[in-house]
Amino acid sequence: MEQRNIMSYETVSFDDAKSELIIIDQTRLPYETKMLHLTTQKEIWNAIYRLEVRGAPAIGVAAGFGIYLAAKAIEADTYDAFYAEFKEAKDYLDSSRPTAVNLSWALNRMEKVVVSNKDKSVQEIKQLLLKEAIEIKEEDTWVCKTIGEYGLSLVEPGIGILTHCNAGQLATSKYGTATAPIYLGQEKGYNFKVFADETRPLLQGARLTAYELHSSGVDVTLICDNMASLVMKNGWVQAVFVGCDRVAANGDSANKIGTSGVAILAKNYGIPMYICAPTSTIDMACETGEGIHIEERPGEEITEMWYKERMAPAGVKTFNPAFDVTDHEFITAIITEYGIAKPPFNESFREIFKRKEEAQKK
């Protein structure tokens, strides 16, 4: 395969003629760029569960195309029979990962298309589903760029930025969320100095964020997670930008494990902590972070993954939560595509969603 910059690939794409959902297998990066051509619901379910496609926005985009593929294959010609099979496929895909709200958000959005067009033929509904899936992807690019513009307004050129996990282009359709201010700043010559946490145990910061930022010419330094305190203490970091998978109504934010520790450190050193959150990740039905279900993953990710030999004794107990919840008191602002929310977040969110509703009426 011809060598290409990782930024020239689409994280998630779709070929309707071949009935293929096409993704970058992110478990193989950075040492191999492999495109997966997924055609069955089992393959798509596995890709989401195994983190071959990951990042809340990218999961949402994949889910939109994935459920369209399921709908496309349904042979029922009556609405009721079609909807019954659609609902079964939707529930199946929705079970692949519990924490990222974009998965259920995208699937619910696709279901709404089916329910609100029951007067149309099954074939017409299928075409409307394809249109909706394409719109989800296109909107994600706009959302990320807009979040980047708002984020850029909060910082000065030349500063140091720390980020955790991967909320970059590999987690979205383009730009990323937490990296969007970095990429837009790069275009404007801001010359940010970025510190990327490794993000153990799956190393999304090392394998993905450092990889894509370095490929884009950004000044990025990779650090182990337990080095964040030192680089902050040294005065090398003036802002923290991270993404998120779900935000509660009070501002508590679930993101990759380790984010809450970064937030506590940032507050200790007087560094602003910014959560970059598309409104699709804000769950107003969830009052606090206590209501966010945290996925626990296999212990082998700690004891064996990435190593030629075991790095822990056989039989040792493990605790491997994929996410933690950062309490709203440690968050300076939550950046959305409809503005910057500041404490108290429940009030700010109401204003954000009011702007969103007004914009969608135009």
Which active-site residues does the annotation give?
A: 245
Give strand pairing partners of 291: none
Parallel/antiparallel/unpaired status of strands 12-15 and 20-24: antiparallel
Q: What is the largest CA-CA distance in the chain?
A: 66
Distance of CA 224 to the CA centre of its chain: 21
DSSP annotation string for 246-313: EEETTS-EEEETTHHHHHHHHHHTT--EEEE--GGGEETT--SGGGSPPPB--THHHHTTT-SS-SS-
DSSP code of residue 162? E
- From CA 305, how far away is CA 319, in angstroms rounded? 15
Encoded amino acid at 239, one letter: A
Cα separation values, 183 from 45, 118, 150, Å: 31, 43, 13
Percentages (nearest 5) of helix, strand, coil residues in the chain:
45, 15, 40
How far apart are the C-alpha atoms of 322 and 320, rounded to whole Å? Answer: 6
DSSP 100: -
Task: Return the SS3 of 166.
Answer: coil
> Are 270 and 280 a contacting pair, CB within 8 Å?
no
With helix as H, strand as E and coil as C, how does 194-240 read?
Answer: EEEECCCCCCHHHHHHHHHHHHCCCEEEEECHHHHHHHHHCCCCCEE
